[in-house]
Structure 1
Amino acid sequence: MVQRQIPRPAEVLELMRLKRPEFNARKRRLDAALTIEDLRAIAKRRTPRAAFDYTDGAAEAEISLARARQAFHDLEFHPSVLRDVAAVDTSTTIFGGPSALPFGIAPTGFTRLMQTEGETAGAGAAAAAGIPFCLSTLGTTSIEDVRAANPSGRNWFQLYVMNKREISYALVERAAAAGFDTLMFTVDTPVAGARLRDKRNGFSIPPQLSLRTIANAIPRPWWWYDFLTTPKLEFASLSATGGTVGELLDAAMDPTISYEDLRVIREMWPGKLAVKGVQTVEDARKLTDAGVDGLVLSNHGGRQLDRAPIPFHLLPEVVREVGDDVEITVDTGIMNGADIVACIALGARFTLIGRAYLYGLMAGGRPGVDRTIGILAEQVVRTMKLLGAHHLGELTPRHVTQLTRLTPLTARPATAR
């Protein structure tokens, strides 16, 4: 028989832990976000549809993005046990300098449209976390203002080669003068991808008001207050600002971009040079032979060629081919610190986060970006501890198996040597 008794008030009180209320609404919602998906959900509630869809969407049917994210789900970790992992070291070096974590903030365009602090929030959060920040050619904060927001940290610049080459050359010179240490020469945008969400939303720079956009904005007065009471939204590095995103890209980019452009930029740039948008082993070898310092395996977040190669799947092949000769970075699809750990284990030196950073920005400005970095950092540390790795150098391919979901019916094109 179970012995029963009348509950004692003192014992009941011991079970009750009243949480101190948080009156700061932004802090309350950010503290409640435990994953990047949580930040995405907050961002979607707080941001007008056109701006959110620009961040969240990809090209055409968005297959490339879905596959990239699925690839990180389709992996299996193999932990080592009975190892003292009370402390782990997440620091690394990339492109000649340090980073406290194995990821940095990727270049994103039109960033102040998502939330008015824009690149300043990203650069400041990166500085506080001790990681690199990369500014886009299509950024809405100037090179010099990013430097002011991150005066002692690492700043990188992402370069599009314009049809007017003098524009690109001037940006290279300004970035060098501002002390940016790495240039990301982007090669996957000879023309703009077909970003259908943007077309359907009538997304443009600057935003154009219609009955639909006004109706969508009514529940989000805070976004419009920030937008209308802060400096005009425009490109900080370009003079042309009118039109849809695709029209702007098509007007600015040049489909004649070639290895000669790479040679010219290499001669102009005094720091490290990485090529962003590498999607085949053959190109990885050619670019390495051309003397670049780094490769960024990327399909532009699925925003250019739909059904493009999955960077995470491409990683082991590229590491086998050129991993001893060049530093390899990965982006596209990263939504969890475990994704980052898996990339490092398979031979990447570093990773970049784009959407994850923007979800945090839209969810809460600078504190939201801090929260993004904090969530990913916690996940990196926890995954390393559970794998039994004391530092990044102990992560090897034996820790990760890429599970098969998409199997080619025919062999991929042979590598040209």
Structure 2
Amino acid sequence: MTRQLPRAHDLAPLLKFKKPVLSPRDRRLASCLTIHDLRDVARRRTPKAAFDYTDGAADAEVSLARARQAFEDVELHPSILRDVARVDTSCEVLGARAALPFGIAPTGFTRLMQTEGEIAGVTAAGAAGIPYALSTMGTTSIEDVAAAGPATRKWFQLYMWKDRERSMALVDRAARAGYDTLLVTVDVPVAGARLRDTRNGMTIPPTLTPRVVANAIPRPAWWFNLLTTEPLAFASLDSWSGTVGELLDTMFDPTVTYDDLAWIREQWPGKLCVKGVQTVADAARLAESGVDAIVLSNHGGRQLDRAPVPFHLLPRVVDEVGDRVEVHLDTGIMSGTDVVAAIAHGARFTMIGRAYLYGLMAGGRPGVDRAIDILRGQVERTMRLLGVSSLAELEPGHVTALNRWGPR
């Protein structure tokens, strides 16, 4: 074998050095390839009480674990020899086009996770061409969110309070601010038993116990942001010094019925969607009531533990009401593949909560952008590997939900 010393011009094509990234935040986010990676960064950078409020669920957290496991247990069936050079990820949802088959779900206390909060969410959604939903329990006002994202499609999520006039005042503000869809959440007659919050003494504003301070000290960026920006407060109600669960039990009305929903329908001028549906019978009754969409959801596992898994419920609900009302889905989505599986299973649209909040906690607005980019890339890649070029081509035959759990 003849050997020779390597020459510089021969080595150059083989050695390509990565350009240094000066921003620590950009380096962190670039290293995140999945939503789980963003979650790991979020956990390191966020005090335990705030992270656990986002990450946790009710009681033993069985509902959340099952919802995520349901997506992991999906088997996909690709078709081959299809032209997938271009894929269309857009869909029609509640009368308008969305660039992706998912939107940002309503989340409460968002500025507690990271100070950019709802503003990061609504602006990132606008840049991505997807809807953003603001929670009744948001920490930025209805009007400020609208001003921050004038071109973003905005939905408002409503909890019915015991004070009906106060509830409908929020609805009126949302209508006047240009929100086109009202999401009425119906699975919170009382607060779920969120044990992590109780153990952490989770309050708004944070309770400064020695344990809270000690946990926050290694996270100076979060602490600095909390102390040097506008004081944390609710956008829709007065400040509160108790736990989150106590707040929910004080505010929310366990007497809400279908009659109240009809009353809301009469007053809201836009699209009406009911969030928190967990049975086929309720889906059928809502379809008869004239709502525009329903969201199959167990509130991210944060209310009734051991509740039905929305993904498992989806095909039966679509068979029953899919020709009369749009069927959306949330809970358990941690990847774009999960989104594609839900659409193939019959969902019109999906919503992400924790997935975008992990991005927010990991890096503010750029972190939310990164979460959306990760999901977008996974949606596109999964579609190509399945051999479909549009969401309309997805069908139940592309997906098998393996039976880990089921009635005996």
Normalised by the size of structure 1, how large is the TM-score?
Answer: 0.96
Distance (whole Å) between structure 1 residues aligned to residue 2 and residue 269 of structure 2:
79
Q: Does 1:382 align with 2:373?
A: no
Seen in structure 2, the aligned counterparts of structure 1 residues 4 and 279 have a Cα distance that, compared at 3 Å, is farther
Whether the 8 Å CA contact 2:89–2:390 is kept in 1: the answer is yes
Residue equivalent to 2:407: 408
Q: Deviations over 1:113-147 (max 9, x none)?
A: 00000000000000000000000000001110110
Distance (whole Å) between structure 1 residues aligned to residue 266 and residue 241 of structure 2:
33
Residue equivalent to 2:77: 78
The 5-angstrom pairing of residues 4-403 of structure 1 reads: 5-10=3-8, 11-403=10-402
Secondary structure of the residue that 2:182 maps to in structure 1? strand
Q: Deviations over 1:7-34 (max 9, x none)?
A: 5143444432111110011111101110
Distance (whole Å) between structure 2 residues aligned to residue 40 and residue 9 of structure 1:
46
Whether the 8 Å CA contact 2:137–2:234 is kept in 1: the answer is yes
Seen in structure 2, the aligned counterparts of structure 1 residues 318 and 4 have a Cα distance that, compared at 3 Å, is farther
Distance (whole Å) between structure 1 residues aligned to residue 100 and residue 392 of structure 2:
13
Q: Deviations over 1:50-99 (max 9, x none)?
A: 00000000001000000000000001111111011010001111111111
Distance (whole Å) between structure 2 residues aligned to residue 247 and residue 390 of structure 1:
48
Amino acid at match of 1:76: E
Secondary structure of the residue that 1:273 maps to in structure 2? strand
Q: Deviations over 1:157-193 (max 9, x none)?
A: 0000001111111011001011100000110000000
Secondary structure of the residue that 1:352 maps to in structure 2? strand
Aligned Cα RMSD in Å? 0.9
Normalised by the size of structure 2, how large is the TM-score?
Answer: 0.98
- Deviation for aligned residue 1:241: 1.9
Secondary structure of the residue that 2:111 maps to in structure 1? helix
Secondary structure of the residue that 1:193 maps to in structure 2? coil
Q: Deviations over 1:272-304 (max 9, x none)?
A: 000000000010001111111000000000000
Distance (whole Å) between structure 2 residues aligned to residue 323 and residue 4 of structure 1:
72
Distance (whole Å) between structure 2 residues aligned to residue 377 and residue 194 of structure 1:
34
Secondary structure of the residue that 1:113 maps to in structure 2? helix
Question: Aligned pair count?
Answer: 407
Distance (whole Å) between structure 2 residues aligned to residue 211 and residue 7 of structure 1:
64
Seen in structure 2, the aligned counterparts of structure 1 residues 7 and 194 have a Cα distance that, compared at 3 Å, is farther
- Deviation for aligned residue 1:326: 0.3
Secondary structure of the residue that 1:215 maps to in structure 2? helix
> Which sections of structure 1, spanning at least 5 residues, go unmatched?
410-417
